[in-house]
Structure 1
Amino acid sequence: MTETAITRRRIVLDCDTGLDDTLTLIFLSGRPDVELVAVGTVHGNVSAVQGALNSAAVLKTLGRTDVPVTVGARHPLAQPVQYSAKVHGSDGLGEIPIDREVRVRTDISAAEQLVRLARQHPGELEIIATGPLTNIALALMIEPELPNLIAGIAVMGGAVTVPGNNTPWAESNIKHDPEAASLVFSAGWRRCVLAGLDVTLTTWLRSADLAAIDALTTPAGRLAQQIIGKFSAYFSVTYGRQSCPIHDPTAAILLLHPEYGEYGRWSVQVELAPGLTRGATLADRRPFVANKPAPPHPPIEVATRLDLDRLLECFVAGIRAAGTAPAQQGQQGQQGQQMEKEVSGD
């Protein structure tokens, strides 16, 4: 009997590698149906440079040095840069010990890398964005046809029906670059999924999930244990719970398994004016259709509810599988060798 070939989803991860971005990297590396084509980093949890070094260090731990990591936007489009050290630690990984003898790409920006890959593989790539959307916005400026070249994008960001976390109205990834988010949400993608705090704050790891991950002895499992421990320490203070939600991995899972969520198809606008509500994600959720004005831009899929059992089981399965298969060396891995270890700060 011939073994059925697995159709692999070609993913570009755009991230600001802190704690839950790391969990996303581990999860994706464990999926046999995912080809992680490239990683680009952006300012956010940490600087874009630090995020790139973190990503490369995590991938090295996972045995995935074939994946090129590229430094992206170091500043937002129209405001000063801010970081999230109080959540993710000074280095983004909670100061855990990790091999940092790594290299990252500086010969091309993350936005340029994304455009180049999209042009080379039209209709094949999907994007998971777990940080501020500056790189995606810059890529749209370089290539206005990007939404037609990309099969789909999933964004962790926003708070449409619930309070924010950076401010009472704004979620951190959006607040770190509202102008970029506005460009991305109005671009007219083939498919755009928004996994905001509306759903990600329901994804707290349960005791059984934590126990299953704690039982792992692989390098990926041990790394996940450390990351979850650091993340849970923050949430134990801020929320009083000895666990953590899996914000960023939720976006990845909903891209791969849309059936795990329920969605509102809404046109989402971002508040750009200075003041208390800057960075808020606003959707016209009125149910009537008569006399309702046309939306300012195409609707996107805003996740409103999750099948938590299936989603959390999927996450644990990905962590369990990570690092158990040899890396897929290929053209992207060879391309990723054109790197520089020494990169300048922000």
Structure 2
Amino acid sequence: MTTLVGMHTDAAPAPVKILFDNDTGIDDALALAYLAACEHVELVAVTSTPGNVDAEQVAANNRALLALCERPEVPVLIGARAPLRIPLVTTPETHGPQGVGYAELDAPTSSRAEEDGTTTAVPAAVGHWIRAARENPGELTALITAPLTNFALALRAEPELPRLLKGVVIMGGAFYHQGNTTPTAEWNTHVDPHAAREVFAAYTAAAEAGLEPEKLPVLCSLDTTERFEMQPELVGELAAAAGCAAPEHVLATDPEGTRSAASNPLVRYLSDALRFYFEFHRKYDQGFIAHVHDYFAAGIAAGTLEYRARPANVDVETESPLLLGTTVADYRGLWGRPANAHVVSWNDPAAGFDELVTRTAALARRIDGDQGRGAGIG
């Protein structure tokens, strides 16, 4: 059975409070910039999980981008430093040595960034999530575009999180789609399969105890995130909508590593990050394109993108070396377990990219205007 779970309308989206856990990451950065551009979104915290790069670099990327997007007040916290049971594997070939391709930003001079207390039983990021959920029961949406390490630790420390949160959106897994890390496994679940299995087991238990279906995680797997295939022309559209002084062209014929000369700092950042991503996909024979998985998940969390999803019980392989991190969805109840997730089955990339350009360009224009006023211009 297919269930329509989310519908975009012409009405202004309802206010939403988001706890965002990421491993920034080029597509994580795009998702974070988009959420910062959404005036109806309150970013309660951005927490950093090791994945694309180590946790310290993830946090540095988050702080710098939030400062650029004029959200320096958002707390940035570090959680786990490694997966639950296996060594950390990062992906510099996909996202660059610093995680954001060719993009460069100075560290912010001030921010509400908070460090993790590594000597405590519960890392700062995990403790912050739990406190925020307890203080705002039924109000917070968790968005996770990273390995599920921090979320698994949070569920260990507070088993009531499924009831305390308003909802959860997860980017991860692959079902009827080839994996992007092994033939069957998606990156996030492959980096920490044990954490992913714990999270879905926790939601199975919560469903058995009567958790409302709308509080089950919405799972954005490769089956639908790879439909968000960005073409390089979109960067030019973003630059034009942002009012850049000159056209922005990201061309397959450019020398590798060409840097953006866009007049707008946010456009320049995103262009340099995405160019690396386009080049990566080309090296793996996918064309000069970029799959922006995490932006789609962010749009669901923000309530701005349309999607459909199917209820299923999801589990993760943790024993087989050949299939480590593979996700399996039981849509028919063959395991005798209740649904523990809504697996997204359909989305609308064209509308999603229009939404991305509109909101992100508006933020870019605001940044330009604020910088101009700060310099006494205009």
Q: TM-score range by the shorter chain?
A: 0.7 to 0.9
Counterpart of 1:319 in structure 2 is: 360
Match for 2:341 among 300, 304, 313? 300
Alignment partner of 2:315: what SS? Answer: strand
The Cα of 1:89 is off from its aligned counterpart by 1.0
Assess if the C-alpha contact under 8 Å between 2:145 and 2:171 holds in 1: yes
1:260 aligns with 2:285: no
Report the AA paired with residue 173 of structure 1. Answer: N
CA RMSD, Structure 1 to Structure 2 (Å):
2.1
Give the aligned partner of residue 153 of structure 2. Answer: 138
Secondary structure of the residue aligned to 1:226 is helix
Distance 1:223 1:65 in 2: 17
Say which is worse superposed, 231-240 or 246-255, in terms of deviation.
Answer: 231-240
Letter in 2 for 1:306: N
Mapped to 2, the partners of 1:240 and 1:267 lie a distance apart of: 31
Instruction: Give the secondary-structure state (helix, strand or coil) at the position aligned to 1:322.
Output: helix
Q: Does 1:63 align with 2:109?
A: no
User: Which residue in the other structure is 1:193 paired with?
Assistant: 218
Distance 1:208 1:36 in 2: 29
- Equivalent-residue separation in structure 2 for 1:284 and 1:75 (angstroms): 29
Once the two structures are overlaid, the 10-residue window that deviates more, 261-270 or 91-100, is: 91-100
Q: CA deviation at 1:259?
A: 6.2
Letter in 2 for 1:178: P
Deviating runs (4+, > 6 A) in structure 1?
none
Distance 1:207 1:18 in 2: 18
Q: Which range moved further: 46-55 or 95-104?
A: 95-104
Q: CA deviation at 1:221?
A: 2.3
Equivalent pair of 1:62/1:219 in contact (CA under 8 Å)? no
Instruction: Measure, in 2, the Cα distance between the counterparts of 1:140 and 1:324.
Output: 40
Of 133, 136, 158, the residue aligned with 2:173 is 158
- Mapped to 2, the partners of 1:173 and 1:180 lie a distance apart of 10
Change (3 A) 1:89 1:294: same
Q: Which runs of 5+ in 2 are unaligned?
A: 1-10, 118-123, 204-210, 245-263, 368-378
State the Cα distance separating 1:24 from its structure 2 match: 0.6
- Match for residue 20 of structure 1? 27
Task: Count residues with an aligned counterpart.
Answer: 318
* In 2: Cα distance, 1:171 partner to 1:259 partner: 22
1:86 to 1:293, Cα distance in 2 relative to 1, 3 A: closer
Mapping 1:1-346, distance limit 5 Å: 7-101=14-108, 104-107=113-116, 109-188=124-203, 190-206=215-231, 209-215=234-240, 216=242, 217=244, 218-257=264-303, 260-286=306-332, 292-295=334-337, 297-324=338-365
Alpha-carbon distance in 2 for matches of 1:5, 1:309? 19
Tell me if the contact between 2:312 and 2:343 (Cα under 8 Å) persists in the aligned partners.
Answer: yes
How many Å separate the matches in 2 of 1:279 and 1:21? 20
**TM-score with structure 2 setting the length:** 0.79
Q: Kindly tell me: are residues 141 and 17 of structure 1, through their superposed partners in 2, closer, same or farther at Cα, counting changes over 3 Å?
A: same
Query: Does the aligned pair in 1 maintain the 2:311–2:339 contact within 8 Å?
Result: no
In the alignment, the residues of structure 1 paired with residue 88 and residue 49 of structure 2 have an alpha-carbon distance, to the nearest angstrom, of 11
Aligned-pair CA distance for 1:306: 1.1
Judge conservation of contact 1:31–1:321 (CA < 8 Å) in 2: no
| AA aligned opposite 1:272 | T
Which amino acid letter does the alignment assign opposite residue 221 of structure 1? V
Structure 1 length-normalised TM:
0.86
Structure 2 residue identity aligned to 1:261: Y
Contact 2:24/2:99 (CA < 8 Å) preserved in 1?
Answer: yes
Asked whether the 8 Å contact 1:115–1:143 carries over to 2, the reply is yes
In the aligned structure 2, how far is the partner of 1:238 from the partner of 1:5?
40
Q: Secondary structure in 2 aligned to 1:298?
A: coil
Partner amino acid for 1:105? Answer: E
CA contact (8 A) 1:68 1:105 kept: yes
Q: 1:214–1:225: 8 Å Cα contact kept in structure 2?
A: no
**Within 2, Cα distance between the matches of 1:111 and 1:256?**
22
Tell me the alpha carbon deviations over residues 208-261 of structure 1, each in whole angstroms, 9 at most, x when there is no partner: 533311323343222222222121111121134222121111111123348611
Deviation per CA, 1:62-117, whole angstroms, max 9, x where unpaired? 12111110011111111111111111111112242211245631155211111111
